[in-house]
A and B are shown apart, each in its own frame.
Chain A
């Protein structure tokens, strides 16, 4: 099925560990995004990409890095995880500014 796939779905990290979240889309979308969702704060944009090889900072980029080496993949990295990064992470993609988004099912990350 066409869509946005996130891996892993769940992860528990210890403070200071690193990890990479993978987002893959098979719809040939140009734009890709990483959001985090926290209770009472809604979804906030971490980083985004407007095409292969491009990345840009969103609203809450600190502590995260991203890469988009291939058009279909958008990776979110945590170099040194902190408890404040405990959240649900959503990846999304869009073909153009006038079209809607497709979201992945999310990654629930807990940092202890």
Chain B
């Protein structure tokens, strides 16, 4: 059974800092790895999707990497802003496109 772990569970950084969120998974037989953002009381917004054959994906200030052999993915956020404050979730995609989620990293960016 796939298990996805996210470290740290919570993170507080001052505005402008670059930061890295970590995601690890136990079963490397994944189709892809997705990162989502969730604001309090809201749904999930897809940020980045990395296919199993890819090493990284970039969107604006966000960069996600994938290392299947070690079972790890990282989400890099450059020049953080208060608007980046949210919970970030990673999820691996297995058979039938089912997602297995980590429990998330709650990020707070302070002024």
Contact = CB atoms under 8 A, between A and B. Distances in A.
A45 B93 contact: no
B96 A50 contact: yes
Main secondary structure on B side of the interface with A: strand
B66 interface: no
A42 B31 contact: no
A72 B101 CA distance: 24
B96 A42 contact: no
A104 B43 contact: yes
Interface residues of A, number: 27
Interface residues of B, number: 22
Interface of A: 31, 33, 35, 40-45, 48, 50, 56, 58, 90, 92, 94, 96-106
B99 A105 contact: no
14 contacts: A35-B101, A40-B103, A41-B103, A42-B103, A42-B104, A43-B89, A43-B99, A50-B96, A92-B99, A99-B49, A100-B34, A101-B34, A101-B44, A103-B46
A64 B99 CA distance: 19
Given A42-B101, A42-B104, A98 B46 contact: no
A50 B32 CA distance: 18
B90 to A, nearest CB: 10
